[in-house]
Structure 1
Amino acid sequence: MNWNLDQLHLFVRTAECRSFSAVARETGRAQSAVSTAIALLESDLGVTLFERSSGRQPQLTEAGKALLEQARSVLQQCERLDGRALGLARGEEARLRLAQDEAMPYQPVLASLEALAAAFPLLEVQLSSGAQGDVARKLLQHQADLGLLIHHEQMPRELESQRLGTIEMVTVCSPNHPLAGLASVERRDLAEYRQLLMTPQDSHYPGGEQISPLVW
């Protein structure tokens, strides 16, 4: 492979402008230099990219049409490579591993990720979800860089935290449950019934606050 990215760029711009002279003016070169560069590209690829007729604009051949999108893709990948390298040189992170409590609403997180993508378009984001204990465990074991979870009094002290806002939690029950017949439900009412606590087996961080002495 002897062709280079400059030749590829000239090929794409000539196809878009349909003029060797326009590309020459755009790049500050002689028209003959643009034409020669594309001719060398055709020689290296072994195909004719443009139909050249005296007095007419260059027209893409079938081979040229087939290779145009691939040429654009190669140039775009090179731009992304340059952008990623520039970001790394500036000290930007290449990847963000985000773990989210599955009890949290997703819409605010998605809106934040859209803003993050706009500010850092080349940043790779890995998003995972799980119970409170899973998120805390991933942070403690350095399997996640950032965690979004609902605050708990028994949150591990090793974790640094920042309050982001509040979430309204609504407790519901089946209309056939005895609690449904009460005008209002107090904590002592909940304690009379069995409570299910979801927590990972390998985590000491509880999945919720224990209210009832009857726990599964």
Structure 2
Amino acid sequence: MTINLDSLALLELIEARGSFAAAAVALNKAPSAITYQLRQLEDSLDVLIYDRSGHKAKLTPAGKALLEEGRKLLESTDALTKRVKAVASGWEAELRIVLDSVVPFEKAIPWIQAFDALESPTRLRFSSEVLSGTWEALYSGRADLLIGSRLDQNQFASATGLHIQSFGQSLFVFAVAPSHPLANAEEPLCIDTIRQYRAVAVGDTSRNFKPLTFGLQSGQAVLTVPNLQAKVKAQLAGLGCGWLPWNLIEQEVANGELLVKKTEDSTRQSSLCFAWQRGSQGKALDWWTQHLATVQLNFQPPQ
């Protein structure tokens, strides 16, 4: 049993033109040639596609199913053809972008919309990692573009052949829920005071790189959660204390749901950057790196 695309296209044309004769005219063929091609298709499938018992041939239920599914197949084939041609002209089939959890996905929405305006055939695939896991995804080839926190990864930039470009700053503040014991503690909080209470930490998602920790004290109890959004929720519930990026808790602080406490080292800054591998840059990656170069993220409270 064989169904070729020409036969499916013929069914589509007959339904669009309304009759075998009209389809024959459109194809510059004799009506008998159209009938013969349909007979071959029916014989191949061993089903009746058209009911010819009336004045005008009508699709049978099997014929309607074939037309419906055939349309999807023709559309998919057309899309595949365009995508293959686009890839041959320099567009990637897929661009994999890994976001550090410090950069909310909402920030990427206007960038995606700007990219969509190009009508590029490149599919975008976003993923999220934490700390060293973000850099490992890029270094291992699981991602083509990294958007996130620079951390201390500049140390291996030259060794791994990465382009790294800064495009903003993220401020981390020490925050607790009003119900937490540290809410009423004298400021600035010292390390020995903080160490007495459980910290909420985001687990590094690195598989092979050395996992990083952030803001933990030696001997401190730790509740490890999967991402920064979970860390915010845990601290809102009073389950622990810790450093949080200002952009993720600005509203909670304004509402009094979280309190920012001064510590001996006050605040912590993290440089935001985007990075990509040297040497293999298609049109989609080229657009993204050029576009992000015009962006400035400032995740800090107003002065």
Interval containing the TM-score (normalised by the shorter chain): 0.7 to 0.9
Aligned to 1:172: 175
CA distance in 1, matches of 2:59, 2:147: 53
Aligned to 2:280: none
Q: CA 1:115–1:20 in structure 2 vs 1: closer, same or farther (change >3 Å)?
A: farther
CA contact (8 A) 1:156 1:205 kept: no
CA contact (8 A) 2:133 2:207 kept: no
CA distance in 2, matches of 1:104, 1:190: 29
Amino acid at match of 1:131: V
Aligned to 2:62: 63
CA contact (8 A) 1:129 1:135 kept: yes
Aligned to 2:154: 156
Deviations 1:101-139 (A, max 9, x none): 123211233454455466334x34443212121101222
Q: CA 1:25–1:99 in structure 2 vs 1: closer, same or farther (change >3 Å)?
A: same
TM-score, scaled relative to structure 2: 0.56
CA contact (8 A) 1:2 1:44 kept: yes
Aligned to 2:51: 51
Aligned to 1:98: 97
Amino acid at match of 2:42: E
RMSD over aligned Cα, in angstroms? 3.5
CA distance in 2, matches of 1:26, 1:166: 62
1:93 partner SS:
coil
Structure with the bigger RCO (C-alpha within 8 Å, sep 6+) is 2
1:189 partner SS:
coil
Aligned to 1:15: 15
Q: CA 1:168–1:35 in structure 2 vs 1: closer, same or farther (change >3 Å)?
A: farther
Deviates further, 82-91 or 157-166: 157-166
2:154 partner SS:
coil
Q: CA 1:150–1:20 in structure 2 vs 1: closer, same or farther (change >3 Å)?
A: same
CA contact (8 A) 1:193 1:214 kept: no
CA contact (8 A) 1:97 1:145 kept: yes
Equivalent residue runs for 1:7-156 within 5 Å: 7-52=7-52, 56-113=55-112, 116=115, 119-121=119-121, 123-152=122-151, 154-156=152-154
CA distance in 2, matches of 1:166, 1:30: 71
CA distance in 1, matches of 2:59, 2:98: 49
Give the gaps of 5 or more residues in structure 1.
none
CA contact (8 A) 1:136 1:156 kept: no
CA contact (8 A) 2:98 2:145 kept: yes
Structure number having the greater strand percentage: 2
Aligned to 1:5: 5
Deviations 1:37-96 (A, max 9, x none): 223222222222112357x44311122122222222322232233123212321322232
CA contact (8 A) 2:8 2:67 kept: no
Amino acid at match of 1:96: L
CA distance in 1, matches of 2:6, 2:173: 61
Identity of aligned residues (%): 28
Aligned to 2:209: 203
CA distance in 2, matches of 1:141, 1:116: 25
CA contact (8 A) 1:133 1:207 kept: no
